[in-house]
């Protein structure tokens, strides 16, 4: 990858190489404790095998937009954010009892084989998955600290890791607390902001900027660009969760309905529905296994009430807000090109 030419595939390959080598080494050390741990070690590697590497990309361009050159050490530090994401995914799938991720069984289901058919096996597998997520979060800090960047650089960014973890967990907690309650758009957007938007775009940019010694104006610009774009990313995820192609998303369409999750899509549907439509929706939400007919009925109701259109409008408005902030920031041309491309990639995707 040329230092100033944004090549997403080449960047992803570099991040993948760092992650796969680092996690494979840690998984080997973990499994060496006892042969029984081999399936758990396998899951450490499985959950980092795939990904768009957007969080690493935003961290990288937070560094580059501050005037710093391409750096393998910075790439390792940026890759650590993908381990935070992997940890969050394992925990999120566990909380939501999701069956699929990237088209494969989620960690808590894959680990059923490790515990066999003994009494309490499902709970034991869930406990193992929780610990996989915990270990991945620990490994994120280890990779960041051993990235090879100067200690003074790392010290500038360290406080932001506490903010990232606090806001991410606050968002997860808010989602749990709002699940099953009456849908509310403002409440759903707050979940979007804290559960996903901040740790996907804003905080990676700020961490990259802090590592680079970015000034206040640049940091403010990162927030103005990153927060609306992160919200657009999750709003797109909500639409794909219900209307996307499972072959491309790698996730089950009925997850959000089955879990009665507080998505903006559901909240906008509820807001526009009359009493009869709300009764219909209420009957379909929270079913343990919504059948194809129930899924089609919810989609039809949402389309009739134009909820997907309103969420699309929210996405468009947020992307425009982010790109306006980027133009006002006026970063170096190569950074502006990359961050513009990343904005479109984050918000206009099929998986």
Residue 57 has pLDDT above 70, yes or no: yes
**pLDDT confidence of 116, banded at 50, 70, 90?**
confident
Residue 34 has pLDDT above 70, yes or no: yes
Residue 247 has pLDDT above 90, yes or no: no
Return the percentage of the chain with pLDDT > 70, whole number: 95
**pLDDT at res. 98:** 86
Residue 316 has pLDDT above 60, yes or no: yes
Sign of the torsion angle spanned by Cα atoms 57, 59, 65, 68: negative
Average pLDDT over residues 268-288: 87
- CB contact at 8 A, 270 and 281: yes
How far is residue 4 from each of residues 11, 207, 332, measured CA to CA in Å? 12, 20, 10
Average pLDDT over residues 267-288: 88
- What span, in angstroms and rounded, lies between the C-alpha atoms of 82 and 100? 19
- What span, in angstroms and rounded, lies between the C-alpha atoms of 79 and 17? 10
Least Cα distance to 46 among 126, 1, 117, 105 occurs for 105
**pLDDT at res. 288:** 58
**pLDDT confidence of 174, banded at 50, 70, 90?**
very high
**pLDDT at res. 286:** 62
Q: Which of 74-88, 222-236, 336-350 has the lowest mean pLDDT?
A: 336-350
Secondary-structure breakdown of the chain: helix, strand, coil percentages, each rounded to the nearest 5: 75, 0, 25
Residue 206 has pLDDT above 60, yes or no: yes
Residue 118 has pLDDT above 70, yes or no: yes
Q: What are phi and psi of 223, to 5 degrees?
A: -65, -45
Residue 306 tokens, joined: 């134009």
**pLDDT at res. 148:** 98
**pLDDT at res. 290:** 54
Query: What does pTM read for this prediction?
Result: 0.94
Residue 256 has pLDDT above 80, yes or no: no
Q: Tell me which DSSP letter residue 290 carries.
A: -
**pLDDT confidence of 332, banded at 50, 70, 90?**
very high
Residue 289 has pLDDT above 60, yes or no: no
Q: Tell me which DSSP letter residue 274 carries.
A: -
Residue 252 CA to its chain's centroid (Å)? 17
Mean pLDDT rounded to a whole number for the chain? 93
Residue 99 has pLDDT above 70, yes or no: yes
Average pLDDT over residues 309-313: 97
**pLDDT confidence of 244, banded at 50, 70, 90?**
confident
Residue 15 tokens, joined: 């991040």
Burial (CB count <10 Å: 0-12, 13-18, 19+), residue 293:
exposed
**pLDDT confidence of 53, banded at 50, 70, 90?**
very high
How far is residue 271 from each of residues 184, 199, 277, 299, 305, measured CA to CA in Å? 8, 28, 10, 15, 9
- What span, in angstroms and rounded, lies between the C-alpha atoms of 280 and 299? 12
More confident residue, 4 or 338: 338
- What span, in angstroms and rounded, lies between the C-alpha atoms of 70 and 47? 27
Topology, domain 8-347:
Farnesyl Diphosphate Synthase (1.10.600)
- What span, in angstroms and rounded, lies between the C-alpha atoms of 18 and 80? 9
Average pLDDT over residues 2-31: 94
DSSP 33-92: T-GGGHHHHHHHHHTTS----HHHHHHHHHHHTTTPPP-HHHHHHHHHHHHHHHHHHHHH
**pLDDT at res. 2:** 54
SS (H, E, C) 4-20: CCCCHHHHHHHHHHHHH
Burial 248-283 (b: 16+ CB within 10 A, else e): ebebbbbbbbbbbbbbbbbbbbbebbeeeebeebee
Other beta carbons within 10 angstroms of residue 296's beta carbon come to 11
**pLDDT confidence of 3, banded at 50, 70, 90?**
low
């Amino acid at each position: 990858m040329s230092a100033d030419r944004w090549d997403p595939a080449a960047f992803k390959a570099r991040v993948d190489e760092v992650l796969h080598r680092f996690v494979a080494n840690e998984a080997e050390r973990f499994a060496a404790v006892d042969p029984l741990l081999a399936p758990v070690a396998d899951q450490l590697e499985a959950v980092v095998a795939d990904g768009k590497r957007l969080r690493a990309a935003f961290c990288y361009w937070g560094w580059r937009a501050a005037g710093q050159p391409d750096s393998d050490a910075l790439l390792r530090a940026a890759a650590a954010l993908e381990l935070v994401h992997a940890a969050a995914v394992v925990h999120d799938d566990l909380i939501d009892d999701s069956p699929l991720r990237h088209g494969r069984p989620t960690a808590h289901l894959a680990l059923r084989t490790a515990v066999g058919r003994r009494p309490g096996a499902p709970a034991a597998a869930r406990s193992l998955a929780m610990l996989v997520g915990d270990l991945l979060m620990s490994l994120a800090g280890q990779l960041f600290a051993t990235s090879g960047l100067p200690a003074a650089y790392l010290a500038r960014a360290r406080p932001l890791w506490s903010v990232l973890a606090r806001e991410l967990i606050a968002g997860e907690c808010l989602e749990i607390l709002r699940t099953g309650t009456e849908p509310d758009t403002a409440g759903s957007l707050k979940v979007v902001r804290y559960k996903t938007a901040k740790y996907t775009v804003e905080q990676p940019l700020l961490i990259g900027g802090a590592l680079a010694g970015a000034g206040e104006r640049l940091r403010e610009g990162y927030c103005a660009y990153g927060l609306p774009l992160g919200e657009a990313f999750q709003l797109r995820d909500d639409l794909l969760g219900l209307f996307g192609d499972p072959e491309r998303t790698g996730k089950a369409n009925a997850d959000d309905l089955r879990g009665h999750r507080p998505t903006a899509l559901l909240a906008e549907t509820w807001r526009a529905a009359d009493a009869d439509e709300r009764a219909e929706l209420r009957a379909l939400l929270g079913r343990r296994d919504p059948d194809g007919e129930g899924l089609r009925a919810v989609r039809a109701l949402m389309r009739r009430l134009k909820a997907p259109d309103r969420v699309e409008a929210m996405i468009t408005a947020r992307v425009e807000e982010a790109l306006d902030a980027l133009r006002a920031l006026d970063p170096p041309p190569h950074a502006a090109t990359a961050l513009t491309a990343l904005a479109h990639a984050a918000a206009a995707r099929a998986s």
